[in-house]
Structure 1
Amino acid sequence: MKISTKGRYGLTIMMELAANYGEGPTSLKSIAEKHQLSEHYLEQLVAPLRNAGYVKSIRGAYGGYILSKPPESITAGDVIRVLEGPISPVDFTEEEDPAKRDLWMRIRDSIAFVLDSTTLKNLIEYEGDGGPNEGYMFYI
């Protein structure tokens, strides 16, 4: 299973909304500019997230989008399933060799476990091995 730009950019939107949770709406324009993404494409991605009940839109001059639930109650799996569909590394049938089918199911279950146990709050608080807001240092 390869996560497309729909899933990756959708997760970017949700992480930005999570980072601003409780501070008012965030515009897609600001997210697009910050991450150098197409605002039009982000508009297409936010609609299914809104329809699924994870995002609310706020109208007006200072409008934008907010999470409809706290960041700790929305998982990466929620976002990926809305935008990408079911999580499965391959399409397999019941007639397939039982050993291979078991392998595919274990892979699917492992991916689902990681996605479903990672909340938006986990993602925005991630510090990595190099401390908070680690970046790359280039020396010439």
Structure 2
Amino acid sequence: MKLSTKGRYGLRSMVDIALNSNGDFIPLKQIAERQNISENYLEQVFSTLRKADLVKSVRGSQGGYALSKPASKITVGEVLRALEGELSITGDDNDEPGFEKNIEDCIKIAVWQEVNKSINAVVDSITLEDLVEQYKKLNAEFTFDFII
């Protein structure tokens, strides 16, 4: 499984909003600048996120985007599925094994379905709030406090 730039940039942008919004709407231009992503590309990503009801938007000079629900209620899995579709290590895992079991069906059941379950369990267990806290923790380690 390889995530596209749409999934990676979308997740980064969602964490950016969770980190910086404080309940306010954030202009896409600010997100694009902070994350070094094309604003035009983010418009496409956020159109999809809005349709999936993960963000809400307001037009105008004070407009922008905000999370549609608390960061603690949005999982990485929700964001990635909205942008990428179902998360699967192979493209054909939705096919049910045939009546006569063959080696391919054995591998599908014993390996790919289990890997998919694990991937989905991981991304569904991590929230945007978890990523914000991890980001803050990582940055706190590199913040030096000099007292004179």
TM-score (norm 1): 0.87
Matched, 1:132 2:138: yes
Give the drift of 1:22: 3.4
Match runs of 1:113-128 below 5 Å: 113-126=121-134
CA gap of 1:18–1:127, structure 2 versus 1, over 3 A, is closer
Give the drift of 1:116: 0.3
Equivalent residue for 1:70? Answer: 70
Give the drift of 1:17: 1.3
Q: Deviations over 1:5-52 (max 9, x none)?
A: 010000011111111343311111111111111000000000111011
Instruction: Calculate percent identity across the aligned residue pairs.
Output: 46
Given residue 106 of structure 2, which amino acid in structure 1 is its aligned partner? A
Aligned residues of 1:74 and 1:120 also touching (Cα < 8 A): yes
C-alpha RMSD of the superposition: 1.7
Inter-partner Cα distance in structure 1 for 2:135 and 2:26? 23
Give the drift of 1:108: 0.3
Matched, 1:19 2:25: no
TM-score (norm 2): 0.83
Inter-partner Cα distance in structure 2 for 1:14 and 1:35? 11
Q: Paired residues, what number?
A: 133
Q: Which runs of 5+ in 1 are unaligned?
A: 136-140
Inter-partner Cα distance in structure 2 for 1:2 and 1:15? 20
Given residue 124 of structure 2, which amino acid in structure 1 is its aligned partner? D
Given residue 85 of structure 1, which amino acid in structure 2 is its aligned partner? G
Inter-partner Cα distance in structure 2 for 1:20 and 1:127? 12
Q: Deviations over 1:52-98 (max 9, x none)?
A: 11100012212100001000000000000000000110124424633
- State which structure, 1 or 2, has the greater radius of gyration over its C-alpha atoms: 2
Equivalent residue for 1:138? Answer: none
Q: Which runs of 5+ in 2 are unaligned?
A: 143-148
CA gap of 1:127–1:41, structure 2 versus 1, over 3 A, is closer
Tell me which protein shows more helix as a share of its residues.
Answer: 2
